[in-house]
Amino acid sequence: MTSMFDQYEQASQRFKGTGGSTIRPEMSTTGFIHMKLEEEPPIFSKQKVNFSPKDRITHLAVSSELLVLTMANNILLRIDLRKPDNSQEIELGKYMSHLKLNDLFLDPLGHHLLLSFSSRNTETPAELLYLSHKTTKLKQPNKFKGHEITAVGWNFGNDSDITTGPILLGTSKGLIFETEIALDGDRIFQSSLEQYWRQVFDIGKGDNTPITGLEFHRVPDSEKYFVLVTTPNRLYQFIGYVTNSDEKPLLQQIFNSYLTVPESFQDIPSSLKYSRLQFYYPNPKGLPKTFAWLTEPGIFYGQLDMSGRDSVMTNSQLLQYIPPNSGAPLAFVITEFHALLLYADHVKGISLLNHELVFEDVYNESFGKLVNITQDPVKGIIWVFTEKVVFRYKVCREERNVWQVYVEKGEFELAKQYCKDNPAHIDQVLVKQAEMYFNNKQYEKSAVHYAETQSSFEEIALKFLQVWQIEALKTFLKKKLEGLKHQDKTQITMIVIWVIELFLNQLGTLRDEGMENSAEYVSLQKELDSFLARPQVTECVKNNRSTVYDLMASHGDKHNLIKLTIMNKDFERVIRHHIHKNNYLEALHVLKSQNRKELFYQFAPALMQFVPKQMVDALISQGRGLSPAKLLPALVTIDDDQAGEAVRYLENCVHSLGCQQQAIHNYLLSLYARLKPQSLMDYLAMQGQDASMVCYDIHYALRLCQERNLTEACVQLSALLGLWESAVDLALTVDVKLAKHTASLPQNDPELRKKLWLKIVSYCVCAAKHVVREKDDIQQAMQFLQQCDLIKIEDILPFFSDFVTIDHFKDAICTSLQEYNQHIQDLKEEMEEATKSAQVIREEIQAFRNRYAFVEARDGCSICELQLLMRPFYLFPCGHRFHSDCLLTELNPMLPPRKRNKLHDLQRQLATFSARDDNVSMGSATLSARDQVKSDIDSIIASECLYCGEMMIRAIDRPFIEDEDYEQVMKEWE
């Protein structure tokens, strides 16, 4: 038996629709291609166990992979399926001589085994034996002697291997006992195995009705218990609460309530002498989900609902045998969705959902007759055994086709749950659900579900159009739109335009009927607004705004057109619409409500012509947000009557915003010249007399003023251009005072100023001659001398006649002589100071020739700090000492470019002389030239101390890091 469960035999099986997922053609859609990569295994696959019994098998029980079977040779074989080689054989011979083994009862964990015996004669009482998995010695509970046990209700909450916990035992006479069997090693507790025992109920009320099935469970986290009991023709249920869990017997508290109240049962007439009660457990340690009861008419099954107060059984129905005349099976087990029925020579599988035969397995006669079918409550493996062979069935994905059954039954939500996230199956479920709603004229729901499928978009849309369900069509389109991805731009655009068209068509129909103020119209408008507010739709409309605008315009829906342009911030179209309707103030209001500068530039020309004052106010309110230069085309179009508003805006740009753009100043100057000449002079005065600082084009301004005959402005502009003589000549044509003011302006050029004043004097010669010769007014003539300090008495003496005596000019001549005398004295003082300075310099030079300094062997270079005498060096009077190469390296970056280039040239010349010394003997002339070059080099690099000279002072504002090295140094510091 070393390889007992390692080899299997595949018996003949017939599967009816369970071999794989059947894709039904009527449920297919064009969205998926149905193809299998490999053949799916069958739902129920039979495997023959490699086990050859020594004798005919009579009974078999399996729990938690512990298998117990008995054979006709009175041997009980116990096998741990995890260690099949270590089987145990237990002899039953001493009991079988006078008793008959009726059944084996193995608890869910495989720890406890009860063997029920019936008497072979009336003199021998029935027996119940107990076998623990820890021992091979059978124990006999004394209290049950004489009672034939036909059903055991194990305690599913017990996990102990030395005690069963409270359990229920059903007998052939309809009695229900509660007991607890326990062991302490091999020592018997007290005087028997039973901790306690008591009869808790009598099903038959004295009629000796055999109990065929018995099971109880506790509802988790509560004190509620329920008990299911079956007889050949009845299914009882007992529901109650155990308030004291320490009281023994435990379940007596439940049955006591039925002593005075009739028990609840399901009665199904049956002539069978046997019956079976089976459960399906989704979780081995949880509550059962489904119950099933074998009767003669069929399998009565249903769901277990623990929330029920009077009953825990719901959705109960009868599963009839297939074919109807096939008779009742010998035994059966249930899975989540199927019932496996055991007959004498075959096994049938019937769906619990649609009651169809889905599996049939016919057994070979060589295996003997089928005896029983059982299921491991923990592992879920189904075991079938004949008199000679043991088989087991493995259940593989039995839920694979459940979704189709639920679809056929119309339970679509359950069908979706069992599609297991298979998109093809879910799509078929949705198609069927949508078709059902469509056939039932629930078009809105149908549209929602059709949108979730992969069905042909065109076919579904046509279906709703054929029945003219526009609302359902909109629902379908909007739902389909939600499922599109961002990159599906073509599909998104098509659906969005179509939905907008449907909305506009509906709104237009209501407007034509005069229902524009109706609740239906308002609701439809809100629905359209909500649709347009979707981010996906908003983006699509922005990308196709022209198409959408044209569509709305074609329907005459100006309200939505304007609303949409505002929503899309397409103010250009709104403003253009208002201007087209001559609503200039409304257009200006829209323009001010947003902050798009390009629209100001675009619409300023039109608005400046019709609402100039309001437009200028709007432009001024924008402050520096607008470029005045870009607004010039709008300002130029204004006529003279409204040019004042342009002047107001330009003055704001110049005075408030500090605009210095030449085009702005030129246009403002032209408006001043044309409309406000006096303001022009104020503007020119404000700009100043520095030609490099004015913001306007002086040449343009001069030409403009000449065209307008603005002579005074021309004088000022000519002076700015440096045309002083022309400026004075123009000024003399206007006013001598203006000419005098103009002539006094060039303060930095005395000669020019004198020349200009002489021009004024020459202009005034006639007036002077008239004053001197005709009026003989000497005092008035002397006023010219006082107005310009550059004109002397000798410059105007030629204008006087010979008869004028010197007395008339005595004061002027004296003043002139005093000035000359003072000038001579100043020159003498300067000469004396220069002589003294020269003497001091000569003395310092003489003293410097006699100065000397000591250089010691330990003295070092002030730059490299190495010994000074190692290389040629320079010694400065201040005491600093430098190697010639160190000084040249430090000094080179500080030299001006011109000196640096000269130094490099001298160094190249010196190198040339040195090369000649190596090859050719030199004459005295060559040596003299070489010394001259060295002298020139010394005059550049040794003219002053590097640390004490003026060069260091001039380098005080030099940055520590040069601009060209800044980026590299910053990277090194990171």
At position 421, the amino acid (one-letter code) is: D
State how far the Cα of 634 lies from the Cα of 601, in Å rounded to an integer: 8
Burial of 841 (0-12, 13-18, 19+ CB in 10 A): exposed
**pLDDT of the residue at 947:** 85
**Residue recorded with tokens 């049955």:** 255
Compute φ and ψ for 809, nearest 5 degrees.
Answer: -115, 15
Residue 209, in any domain of the structure: yes
Token pair recorded at residue 916? 């000649």
Q: Rounded to 10 degrees, what is the CA torsion of 497, 498, 499, 502?
A: 120
**β-sheet bridge partners, residue 151:** 170
- For residues 528 and 560, is the Cβ–Cβ distance under 8 A? yes
State how far the Cα of 194 lies from the Cα of 167, in Å rounded to an integer: 11
**Residue recorded with tokens 């010998």:** 330
Picking from 345, 367, 398, the residue at the C-terminal end of a domain is 398
Q: Which residue has the higher pLDDT, 755 or 825?
A: 825
At position 409, the amino acid (one-letter code) is: K
Picking from 398, 422, 441, the residue at the C-terminal end of a domain is 398
pLDDT above 90 covers a percentage of the chain that reads 24
Q: Which residue has the higher pLDDT, 602 or 783?
A: 602
Residue 291, in any domain of the structure: yes
Predicted confidence (pLDDT) per residue in 343-381, tens digit: 999 999 999 988 999 999 999 888 889 999 999 999 889
Predicted confidence (pLDDT) per residue in 621-672, tens digit: 888 888 888 888 888 877 777 788 888 888 888 888 888 888 888 888 888 8
State how far the Cα of 536 lies from the Cα of 586, in Å rounded to an integer: 31
State how far the Cα of 951 lies from the Cα of 969, in Å rounded to an integer: 26
Residue 844, in any domain of the structure: no
Helix H or strand E encompassing 528: helix 519-532
Residue 430, in any domain of the structure: no
**pLDDT of the residue at 225:** 94
At position 624, the amino acid (one-letter code) is: R
Predicted confidence (pLDDT) per residue in 558-569, tens digit: 778 777 877 777
SS3 703: helix
Predicted confidence (pLDDT) per residue in 432-446, tens digit: 888 888 888 899 888
State how far the Cα of 519 lies from the Cα of 602, in Å rounded to an integer: 41
Residue 310, in any domain of the structure: yes
Predicted confidence (pLDDT) per residue in 285-338, tens digit: 889 999 999 999 999 999 999 887 889 999 999 999 988 888 899 999 999 999
Residue 108, in any domain of the structure: yes
State how far the Cα of 878 lies from the Cα of 885, in Å rounded to an integer: 19
Residue 79 pLDDT class (50, 70, 90 cuts)? very high
Residue 453, in any domain of the structure: no
3-state percent breakdown (helix, strand, coil) of the chain, nearest 5: 45, 20, 35
Rg (CA), the chain: 61
- For residues 628 and 659, is the Cβ–Cβ distance under 8 A? yes
Q: Which residues contact 589 (CB under 8 A, 6 or more apart)?
A: none
Residues counted in the chain: 974
| Residue 111 in this model has a pLDDT that exceeds 70 | yes
Token pair recorded at residue 653? 């740009």
Q: Which residue has the higher pLDDT, 93 or 38?
A: 93
- Going 409 to 412 to 417 to 419, the CA torsion angle's sign is positive
State how far the Cα of 88 lies from the Cα of 319, in Å rounded to an integer: 40
Residue 684 pLDDT class (50, 70, 90 cuts)? confident
Give the sheet arrangement for strand 66-71, strand by strand: 57-63, 66-71, 75-80, 88-91
State how far the Cα of 580 lies from the Cα of 218, in Å rounded to an integer: 84
Query: Alpha helices of 735-809 — where are they, by DSSP H?
Result: 736-743, 750-763, 765-769, 778-787, 793-796
Which one, of 503, 539, 502, 544, lies nearest residue 521 by Cα? 503
State how far the Cα of 936 lies from the Cα of 907, in Å rounded to an integer: 10
Of 357-371, 413-427, 646-660, 687-701, which has the strongest mean pLDDT?
A: 357-371
CATH number, position 91:
2.130.10.10
Token pair recorded at residue 422? 């298979």
Residue 601, in any domain of the structure: no
| Residue 490 in this model has a pLDDT that exceeds 80 | yes
**pLDDT of the residue at 771:** 47
State how far the Cα of 425 lies from the Cα of 401, in Å rounded to an integer: 10
The alpha carbon of residue 123 and the mean position of all alpha carbons in its chain are separated, in whole angstroms, by 86
pTM of the model: 0.57
**pLDDT of the residue at 668:** 81
Cα atoms in the 13 Å half-sphere on the side-chain side of 949: 14
Residue 280 pLDDT class (50, 70, 90 cuts)? very high
Taking residues 380-398, report their average pLDDT: 92
Token pair recorded at residue 147? 């009672």
Compute φ and ψ for 718, nearest 5 degrees.
Answer: -65, -40
At position 151, the amino acid (one-letter code) is: A
Residue 74's domain comprises 45-398
Burial of 310 (0-12, 13-18, 19+ CB in 10 A): exposed
State how far the Cα of 104 lies from the Cα of 937, in Å rounded to an integer: 125
Picking from 352, 370, 398, the residue at the C-terminal end of a domain is 398
Helix H or strand E encompassing 70: strand 66-71
Token pair recorded at residue 452? 């979730």
Share the mean pLDDT of the chain. 82
Burial 353-372 (b: 16+ CB within 10 A, else e): bebebbbbbebeeebbebbb
- For residues 350 and 338, is the Cβ–Cβ distance under 8 A? yes
Structurally, the chain folds into a number of domains equal to 2
Of 98-112, 656-670, 838-852, 909-923, which has the strongest mean pLDDT?
A: 98-112
Predicted confidence (pLDDT) per residue in 946-972, tens digit: 888 887 777 777 777 777 777 888 888
